Amino acid sequence: MDLSYLDYLSTCGRTPLHRAGPLSKVLLAAAFVASAVLARDTRAGLAGASLGVVVILVAGIPARVAAGLLAYPAVFGWAFSAGDPWLGCLRAVTAAGGVIAVLGTTRFSDVHSIVAACMPRLLADSIYLTYRSFFILSDEVARVSRAVRLKGARDLRALGAAAAAALLRSVDISERLYMVLIMRGYDETVRPAPRETTLSPCDAWPVLLGAAALCVSLML
């Protein structure tokens, strides 16, 4: 999973999509998913998938990383399509392109601010802490995996024990995280970042790309 790299890109990228507001980008992702669902034949699928690739490149995600990220849904889209496997593959690339582009250009705190407005706060906070904890934990898991490899233990029991060791560290981390939240004035909710309600010229990019994706599915 290239979650760490996408998170890095979302904060350090300098493309027009990075400057666009989170709401317009969430709408972009929704438009690409709708486009994937609505694509009726290979021609519409191909146009949608091309836009999916374009939006990923506009988001500044390097082609090699983009290929890796899109290959996964493409393979499963081919395998699990009801009907033409190539249409399934193209639909998968269309939707994944839109969603990955949004994650690669939007800070997760901004995504959280949109998510928190649409669902119960406990649920939105759970998603936010899962995402943030992944980065805390991934270093720990890498350290434990290295230790297991160096000790030559490769059986499942060792793997389970290593997972448990990582889990024990996770529990410590979670308890520390809770204390940090309390010390920083946590009042039983993770406050979402203030949502931008005004549109900027940069919002034209996601709006146009989203509209184009919907148009190719509806008109082709």
Using the minimum distance from each CB to other proteins, give the nearer residue, 182 or 204: 182
Q: Does 99 bind other proteins (CB under 8 A)?
A: yes
Q: Does 8 bind other proteins (CB under 8 A)?
A: no
How far is 106 from 23, CA to CA, in rounded Å?
A: 10
Tokens read off for 183: 């010390």
- Here's the x/- map for other proteins, 156-195, by CB under 8 A: it reads as xx-xxx-xxxxxx-xx-xxx-xx--x------xx------
CA 153 to chain centre: 34
How far is 64 from 134, CA to CA, in rounded Å?
A: 23
Among 42, 50, 109, 138, binds other proteins (CB under 8 A): 138
Q: Does 214 bind other proteins (CB under 8 A)?
A: no
How far is 48 from 44, CA to CA, in rounded Å?
A: 6
Distance of CA 114 to CAs 27, 39, 89, Å?
11, 27, 29
Q: Does 72 bind other proteins (CB under 8 A)?
A: yes
Nearest distance from C-beta of residue 198 to other proteins, angstroms: 25
Among 76, 193, 196, 215, binds other proteins (CB under 8 A): 76
Q: Report the chain's C-alpha Rg in angstroms.
A: 20
Among 63, 117, 122, 147, binds other proteins (CB under 8 A): 122
How far is 74 from 66, CA to CA, in rounded Å?
A: 12
Q: Does 141 bind other proteins (CB under 8 A)?
A: yes
Using the minimum distance from each CB to other proteins, give the nearer residue, 132 or 191: 132
